[in-house]
Chain A
């Protein structure tokens, strides 16, 4: 248990990032109910390890814990789906134009489904960069990949997302709407 001064510091520094923690967990786990449990567990872990936090980027520190908690959780509650590798063949030919992208992405549902169809490593890097606005350095800290690799990983993830938005799998769902 932290002393009251440390508690106040935790509340001031860490709690404001609860939204970031929940958002990352929600996208990594592809659902709200599990994300609540995992975000709570991650917050408790952060609280327990707060003695070890020696200043610096508190959001990156917390998101690192959230991410690890998510992956541990996924290993324990493996749904099978998440081990699927993203198959570019299934997602259709490359070369979307900005116009088709804009049309395909005009609804939250479609974008959300496309994002959820990515493998978790790609999904997390898109969420960290595009939703959380993390720098490459922060992404490197959170995901424990070398900073030099962030750019190429992000490049692949964006390409996968563009394909998921414009590929035949998604076109079917467009017609369903």
Chain B
């Protein structure tokens, strides 16, 4: 590099870190400096290669569990009056879960509120999907590629749409298993946050979204047009709600 600005200022410009005056001044400089133009192109090439290579490595699910366990038993629940009460609640919850699970096997998504057991499974499925190589079976940002991919693999046809223009770009899809049933999983990415949308058929009436969170992950669940949807991510709540509106309006 001959131009001394290509050494450092060009990086500030590339990273949107210059103030307005500095950026305008640099843009004037760019018009007559090919060194800086090439430097910008190199950085752009490097950034897009790094993006395509998906170098970001997420924490493995067992590590998350290990950390949760080591931080103390209170962590996964909000304020609980006392240990004894908690133990009794756990016993009661276990009974409820068994009863619920055996009933749930025959039909998914019948109850009014979204159940803890299913939420746990959805969060687990989300975590599993984030392990290297598990996110997508079909990698495509094209809804016309992803939708037909599900044909013959499921006994229903999930709605598939890309919302790249609205900030949720489709990454692909895969088949997942939730509560012993094969479900469709669509993968969206929003600002480096992955969102899994699980979809399976449901006979019941449409239902407004209900939300919850577990282990630092949020989920939003709703029913529309004979399909049950559950979106789960570590993205902020408003982002999930925005995706819900997009999915439900189609």
Given known contacts A36-B60, A136-B15, is B46 in contact with A43 (CB within 8 Å)? no
Give chain A nearest CB distance to B114 CB in angstroms: 19
Given known contacts A111-B49, A135-B17, is B8 in contact with A155 (CB within 8 Å)? yes
Instruction: A19 to B59: give the CA distance in the assembly, Å.
Output: 5
How many A-B Cβ pairs are below 8 Å? 133
Asked if B11 is at the interface (CB within 8 A of a chain A CB), the reply is yes
Q: Tell me whether B70 and A152 are in contact (CB under 8 A).
A: no
Q: Tell me whether B79 and A98 are in contact (CB under 8 A).
A: no
Contact with B along A1-37 (1 / 0, CB 8 A): 1001101101110011011011100110000100110
Q: Which of B44, B55, B66, B76 contacts A112 (CB 8 A)?
A: B55
Q: Which of A11, A12, A105, A131 contacts B49 (CB 8 A)?
A: A105
Q: Tell me whether A23 and B71 are in contact (CB under 8 A).
A: no
Q: Which residue from chain A places its CB closest to the CB of B7 in the assembled complex? A: A155
Asked if A154 is at the interface (CB within 8 A of a chain B CB), the reply is yes
Q: Tell me whether A40 and B66 are in contact (CB under 8 A).
A: yes
Q: Tell me whether A98 and B53 are in contact (CB under 8 A).
A: no
Asked if B31 is at the interface (CB within 8 A of a chain A CB), the reply is no
Asked if A108 is at the interface (CB within 8 A of a chain B CB), the reply is yes
Instruction: A47 to B74: give the CA distance in the assembly, Å.
Output: 13
Asked if B80 is at the interface (CB within 8 A of a chain A CB), the reply is yes
Chain A residues whose CB sits within 8 angstroms of the CB of B192 once the complex forms: 133
Chain A residues whose CB sits within 8 angstroms of the CB of B42 once the complex forms: 96-98, 101, 162
Asked if A84 is at the interface (CB within 8 A of a chain B CB), the reply is no
Given known contacts A7-B72, A98-B44, A101-B45, is B11 in contact with A19 (CB within 8 Å)? no
Contact with B along A137-157 (1 / 0, CB 8 A): 000000000000001101100
Q: Which of A19, A96, A135, A152 contacts B234 (CB 8 A)?
A: A19
Chain A residues whose CB sits within 8 angstroms of the CB of B38 once the complex forms: 97-98
Q: Which of B12, B41, B49, B79 contacts A8 (CB 8 A)?
A: B79
Give chain A nearest CB distance to B96 CB in angstroms: 23
Give chain B nearest CB distance to A8 CB in angstroms: 5
Q: Tell me whether A162 and B53 are in contact (CB under 8 A).
A: no
Give chain A's interface residue range (CB within 8 Å of chain B): 35 or more
Chain A residues whose CB sits within 8 angstroms of the CB of B67 once the complex forms: 15, 18, 39-40, 43-44
Q: Tell me whether B57 and A107 are in contact (CB under 8 A).
A: no
Chain B residues whose CB sits within 8 angstroms of the CB of A11 once the complex forms: 75-76, 216
Known: A44-B67, A111-B50. 12 other contacts (CB 8 A): A4-B78, A18-B59, A19-B58, A22-B57, A27-B55, A27-B57, A36-B63, A40-B63, A44-B71, A115-B55, A130-B47, A155-B7
Q: Which residues of B contact A (CB under 8 A)?
A: 7-12, 15, 17, 38, 41-50, 52-60, 63-64, 66-68, 70-72, 74-76, 78-80, 130, 191-192, 215-217, 234
Q: Which residues of A contact B (CB under 8 A)?
A: 1, 4-5, 7-8, 10-12, 15-16, 18-19, 21-23, 26-27, 32, 35-36, 39-40, 43-44, 47, 96-98, 101-102, 105-108, 111-112, 115, 129-131, 133, 135-136, 151-152, 154-155, 158, 161-162, 165
Give 9 pairs: A residue, B residue, CB < 8 Å, sorted on A.
Answer: A7-B75, A12-B216, A19-B59, A32-B60, A40-B66, A102-B48, A129-B15, A130-B50, A135-B17
